[in-house]
Amino acid sequence: MLNMEQIFEYLRKEYRSSPPDPVFYRTVETWNDWYRGTDESFHRMTVNNGITTGEREMFRLHMAKKVAEDWANMLLNEKTNIVLDDSVSSEFLQGTDGCGGVFGENDFWTRANRLLEKVFALGTGAVVLYLDHAAISSDGSLLSSPEAKIRLDFLPAQAVIPLSCQGDVVYEAAFVSEVSECDGKYIYLQIHRKEKDGYVIVSRYFRNDSGKLTEAALPAGLSPVIRTGSGIPWFCIFRPNIVNTLNPDCGMGMSVFANSIDVLKGIDLCYDSLNTEFYLGRKMVFMRKDLLAKDESGLFFPPQDAKRQLFMYIGDKAFDGDMVPKEFNPVLRVDEHIQALQQQLNLLSSKCGFGERFYRFTSGTVITATQIVSENSNLYRSIKKHEIAIEKPLISITRAILDVAKNKLGKRVNSDACISIAFDDSVVEDKAAEQTRDLELLRQGVMQKWEFRMKYFGEDETKAKEMTGFLAATPEWNQ
């Protein structure tokens, strides 16, 4: 874990900022422990058999990661689209197929999905824009740089430090990351501050000697100050759409399972007990020493190990009842464990916004999207709720990319283009049934072909009308 106290002290002294309480970041580390699947204080157990004492790790289901992963997959996946009303801007941003352009160069959708998983696990994440090979004047002003490339960094909660915010909007922030070099470890600190003439980005570098930070020279290629000349921030902050009850005004979000740690413990206790039940409940066979044989080392072994299960020589002794092997077959409480585990999973599902019985330990049927929306309206409302919080930062970083492209790279894009996010609702809506219904409306003339293309092909109105021949067929005065 980074020495956040020293970093916060530096920010307070140099920039008179008020970053969040460092204690909050220790809570983030606790969430991170559960996200990784191991909380040492809980999952490492002391075992005493009456003679010796030892330690072992609990069996665990890693449900914290599963919760975060499922939210990321439902909210940001391959069917999510950013729709712009300007085709040139859209092609620059994401190519003609949605996978090219700036997004393609930065592997945006894959990295954004992974970031969102960490956002729901740790409460916060950020996307930060920067330029490769940009021209910068002596006073730090960013000059026209047609050859520069737009790059994006995807940072987890531990790297995000809000400096000023109003409500849920973070206006200024710092981003910190660890760098390993051949001569030791360093801390890279980037501060985004808003001034009268636009945002200023300040970069600082610290040598990290066992937690003690000493300011060092920046690596080659990094400018200490960049004056963007724009009032649009080069970063966006992602958070789940839930209230941070631990520190409501710090600009940081809260993990979606923050209030479910006890339930996660209960799940792992049930799962560990289930596995232990089989470990301790294995069949045992007791037999007299007369039935055992010796190997070359003088060690005894049962006849089964010598594959002599049919015939076994025991000398001239009579075979009495005491010589018959005795079986020990413990009763396994499998059903009771599964019921208890299912109940814990139901609690976790409900507390994390999925509604009841989203997770099923055993299931004999496959639940379709139609069944989910009819049986689990809580999930639908939760998805729509989180989409509101995710839409704003996606639009914000898109706006920043277009602004930089137009004003610094000289690209023919519209920085004021209308931007909307088309989320994938197939999880909560039966898309096949909806499309079949719209095709029937199309045949009846209730829906136009261009409206159908806009809805299912992600095209803007002009493009959709052009593809369907609507513009050519419509008189100029009536377009």
- CA–CA distances in Å: residue 240 to residues 134, 192, 342, 405: 34, 23, 26, 29
Q: Residue with structure tokens 């712009």?
A: 84
pLDDT over 90 (residue 4) = no
Contact yes or no for 77/424 (Cβ under 8 A): yes
Task: Give the pLDDT confidence score for residue 327 in this predicted structure.
Answer: 67
Tell me what the mean pLDDT of segment 243-251 comes to. Answer: 90
Tell me what the mean pLDDT of segment 227-251 comes to. Answer: 94
Task: Give the pLDDT confidence score for residue 290 in this predicted structure.
Answer: 64
Q: Which pair of structure tokens corresponds to residue 316? A: 């001239």
Tell me what the mean pLDDT of segment 207-219 comes to. Answer: 84
| Better-predicted residue by pLDDT, 46 or 222 | 222
Q: Which residue type occupies 178?
A: E
Q: Which pair of structure tokens corresponds to residue 263? A: 């339930």
**What are phi and psi for residue 226, nearest 5 degrees?**
-130, 120
Task: Give the pLDDT confidence score for residue 55 in this predicted structure.
Answer: 81
DSSP-based three-state secondary structure for 2: coil
Q: How far apart are CA 103 and CA 151, in angstroms?
A: 9
- Least reliable range by pLDDT among 195-209, 280-294, 456-470: 280-294
Q: Which residue type occupies 405?
A: A
**What are phi and psi for residue 209, nearest 5 degrees?**
-105, 95
Paired with 127 in beta bridges are 154, 236
Comparing CA positions, the residue from 113, 111, 117, 47 lying closest to residue 79 is 113
Q: How large is the C-alpha radius of gyration of the chain? A: 31
DSSP-based three-state secondary structure for 49: coil
Task: Give 3-state DSSP helix, strand, coil % of the chain, rounded to 5.
Answer: 40, 20, 35
Looking at every residue in the chain, the average pLDDT score rounds to 84
Query: pLDDT grade, residue 317 (50/70/90)?
Result: low
Centroid of chain to Cα 104:
20
- CA–CA distances in Å: residue 108 to residues 101, 129, 314, 316: 10, 12, 74, 80
Task: Give the pLDDT confidence score for residue 359 in this predicted structure.
Answer: 86
DSSP-based three-state secondary structure for 43: helix
Q: Which residue type occupies 338?
A: I
Query: Which letter does DSSP use for residue 313 in this model?
Result: -
Strands 300-301, 293-294: pairing kind: antiparallel
* pTM given for the model: 0.80
Q: Which residue type occupies 311?
A: F
* pLDDT single digits (tens) 369-383: 455 555 557 888 899
Query: pLDDT grade, residue 304 (50/70/90)?
Result: low
Q: Which pair of structure tokens corresponds to residue 39? A: 């909380």
Q: How far apart are CA 190 and CA 21, in angstroms?
A: 19
pLDDT over 60 (residue 318) = no
Query: pLDDT grade, residue 364 (50/70/90)?
Result: very low
* pLDDT single digits (tens) 110-163: 999 999 999 999 999 999 999 998 999 999 999 999 999 999 999 999 999 999
- Least reliable range by pLDDT among 30-39, 268-277, 399-408: 268-277
Contact yes or no for 214/187 (Cβ under 8 A): no
Query: pLDDT grade, residue 64 (50/70/90)?
Result: very high
pLDDT over 90 (residue 195) = yes
Task: Give the pLDDT confidence score for residue 371 in this predicted structure.
Answer: 54
| Better-predicted residue by pLDDT, 281 or 193 | 193
Task: Give the pLDDT confidence score for residue 479 in this predicted structure.
Answer: 47
Query: pLDDT grade, residue 9 (50/70/90)?
Result: confident
User: For a pLDDT cut of 90, what percent of the chain falls above it?
Assistant: 48
Task: Give the pLDDT confidence score for residue 2 in this predicted structure.
Answer: 62
Q: Which pair of structure tokens corresponds to residue 120? A: 């729901």
Task: Please name the residues in contact with 358: beta carbons below 8 A apart, sequence gap of 6 or more.
Answer: 349, 376, 379
Task: Give the pLDDT confidence score for residue 120 in this predicted structure.
Answer: 98
- Least reliable range by pLDDT among 40-49, 175-184, 386-395: 40-49
